[in-house]
Chains A and B, each alone.
Chain A
Amino acid sequence: MFAGHDHGYDEIRDGVRGLCERFPGEYWRDRDRESAYPTAFIEALTEAGYLAALIPEEYGGAGLDLKAACVILEMIQRTGCNGAACHAQMYIMGTLLRHGGEAQKRRYLPRVAAGELRLQAFGVSEPTCGTDTTRIATTAERNGDEYVIHGQKTWISRSEHSDLMLLLARTTPREESAKPTAGMSVFLVDLRNEVGESVTIRPIETMINHSTTEVFFDGLRVPAANLVGDEGEGFRYILDGLNAERVLIAAECVGDARFFVERAAEYARGREVFGRPIGQNQGIQFPIAEAHMKTEAAALMVERAASLFDDGAPCGAEANMAKYLASDASWAAADMCMQTYGGFAFSTEYGIERKFRETRLYQIAPISTNLILSHVATHVLGLPKSF
Chain B
Amino acid sequence: MNTIVCMKRVPDSATRVRVTPDGAGLDPAGVKYVVNPYDEFALEDAIRRKEEAGEGKVTVVALGPPETAESIRQALAMGADEGVLLVCAGSHDALSVAGALADEIRGRDVDLVLFGKQAIDDDNMQVPQMVAEFLGLPCATVVVGLEIAGRDATARREVEGGHEVVEFSLPAVVSTQKGLNEPRYPSLKGIMAAKRKPLEEREVILEAPTIEFLRLDEPPAPAAGRIVGEGVDAVPELVRALRDEAGVL
User: A interface vs B, CB < 8 Å?
Assistant: 8, 11-12, 14-15, 18-19, 21-22, 44, 47-50, 52-53, 62, 64, 72
Contact = CB atoms under 8 A, between A and B. Distances in A.
A15 B76 CA distance: 12
B192 interface: yes
A62 B185 contact: no
A49 B74 contact: no
Given A11-B73, A11-B77, A15-B77, A49 B187 contact: yes
A48 B74 contact: no
Contacts of B77: 11, 15
Contacts of B70: 14
A62 B192 contact: yes
Contacts of A15: 77, 185-186, 188, 191
A15 B14 CA distance: 17
A52 B192 CA distance: 13
Interface residues of B, number: 14
Contacts of B74: 11, 14, 18
Given A11-B73, A15-B77, A47 B187 contact: yes
A72 B185 CA distance: 14
Interface of B: 14, 70, 73-74, 77, 185-189, 191-192, 194-195
Contact of A18 (B73, B186, B188, B192): B186
A156 B70 CA distance: 41
**Chain A interface helix/strand/loop/mixed:** helix
Contacts of B73: 11
A44 B188 CA distance: 12
Contacts of A48: 185-188
B185 A11 contact: no
B185 A8 contact: no
A72 B188 CA distance: 10
A67 to B, nearest CB: 14
Contacts of A50: 188
Nearest to A19: B185
B191 A8 contact: yes
30 contacts: A8-B195, A11-B73, A11-B74, A11-B191, A11-B194, A11-B195, A12-B188, A12-B191, A14-B70, A14-B74, A15-B186, A15-B191, A18-B74, A18-B186, A19-B185, A21-B14, A22-B185, A48-B185, A48-B186, A48-B187, A49-B187, A49-B188, A49-B189, A50-B188, A52-B188, A53-B188, A62-B188, A62-B192, A64-B188, A72-B188
